[in-house]
Structure 1
Amino acid sequence: MKHGITTEVFDDEMPFYCDYYLTYTALKTWDIGMYMHHAELSLFKNHKMLGYAEYHLNGKGGLALNKWASVESKMMPVIDKLLVGYTPEKVKLFKSKQKHANFKETNNETSGKSTEDELIKLRKWFEKGLISKEEYKAEKEKLLNK
């Protein structure tokens, strides 16, 4: 959440409402205990790679004590590198612009749509994080009271 981006972990197929997704691969090795020595992050939008970043411990750590550092301390600099330029303010502004564009689009199209279609679209916006839970509930209530 440091960069203002909300996330969701899924094991099966990617949910229909995900435009962006990240793959994460980590390799561990053993020396008295398990530790991560290599990791890769790949960021995609609609199956097109937008960015890549990796963590690599030279020689799998050898005698270096930093091999025992936490995964978080190893990965946060990698995530920061991958998401350079993304701040909570920029992400909030982007989401706000998307939300307003979607509301305008819906207002132009609602005359021919059923309440069910409008509720489905509203749910998609909420699941994408384009509107807050409060906004979702308020708009849902308006639609149901039509």
Structure 2
Amino acid sequence: MRAYKLNATNDSMGEVRVKVKLTNAIDEALVSRGILNPNMLRVCETEALVDTGAVRTVLPMSIVQQLGLRIRGQQVAQYANGMEESVGLTEPVIIELEGRETTEAVLVIGDTVLIGQTVLETLDLLVDYRNQRLVPNPE
């Protein structure tokens, strides 16, 4: 599974960066059941790079720690250069983009939040490279 893409250049043409809200899904479930105080809900609002070359969404360890996510397993990630590496797979994260949300486990790699294809497809969002934004699928 290709989970992350290494770019060979620093060319920012065509990059789409978006605001994303990340929430610890286990915290959210505990709050909704009245077990956890809402003040204890761990949330992170940050900027993410939309990477249509990445299958899975990726978080850096610093954000994983901020959200209090446990690494529940390992998965082999294949980079754009063909290299493979075993990386951490987190507990579920609620990912909110453009007013839509989904929940999935994410890979722990690097120092940039990357939004991959699985989130874009689940949320039915398309990349508008010309205007450097995400848009709802018109179909």
Shorter chain as denominator, the TM-score bin is: under 0.3
TM-score by length of 1: 0.21
- Between Structure 1 and Structure 2, the one with more helix by share is 1
- Between Structure 1 and Structure 2, the one with more strand by share is 2
Q: Bigger radius of gyration, 1 or 2?
A: 1
